[in-house]
Amino acid sequence: MDSNEFAVINRYHETETNIRYGDIVDFEPEELEENRLIRLFNCACLGLGKDVDVVTIQAVPNSLLYRVGEKMGFAESNVKHYFCIKVKEPCNEYLYDSSSWLIKWGDYLR
C-alpha cells in the first residue's frame, strides 16, 4: 500500500477439491489497530481478485485479528491448530496473558 503497509499472500490450488486459496500468511500494518487491519486485508482481498475462490487467514480466538476477521466476514473452519507455552522463569509469567500477543498463525478463518 502507499503507506508502506503490506500483506504477504500464498496462493495455492487444492487439486482434490479444485479450490484456489489465497492465504494471508503475513502482514505489517503501521499500527496494530482494527481499522488499519481491515483496510489492509480488504486491499489484499481486492488484489487477489478472481484468482482465488477462498481467502484465508489464521487467528487466535478472542484476539484482535480474530475479531477483525469475523467483522470482515471470515468464518471459522473446522481445522484446528494448537499453541502451548510453559514459562520457565517466574518473572515471565506475564506471557500467560495472551491478550498482548500477536500470533499470525493459529486457527483458520475463511
Domain CATH code at residue 37:
3.40.630
Answer whether residue 45 is part of any domain: yes
Asked whether residue 53 carries a pLDDT value surpassing 90, the answer given is: yes
Answer whether residue 52 is part of any domain: yes
Domain that holds residue 93: 6-109
Looking at the structure of the chain, the number of domains it has is: 1
**What is residue 95's predicted lDDT score, i.e. its pLDDT?**
84
Asked whether residue 109 carries a pLDDT value surpassing 80, the answer given is: no
Answer whether residue 58 is part of any domain: yes
Would you put residue 56 in left (φ > 0), alpha (ψ -120 to 50) or beta? beta
Asked whether residue 8 carries a pLDDT value surpassing 50, the answer given is: yes
Tell me the angle at which helices 64-72 and 34-48 cross, rounded to the nearest 10 degrees. Answer: 50
Answer whether residue 60 is part of any domain: yes
Answer whether residue 12 is part of any domain: yes
Answer whether residue 1 is part of any domain: no
Answer whether residue 73 is part of any domain: yes
What's the mean pLDDT in 75-91? Answer: 80
* Of 15-29, 53-67, 83-97, highest mean pLDDT: 15-29
**What is residue 105's predicted lDDT score, i.e. its pLDDT?**
54
Asked whether residue 102 carries a pLDDT value surpassing 80, the answer given is: no
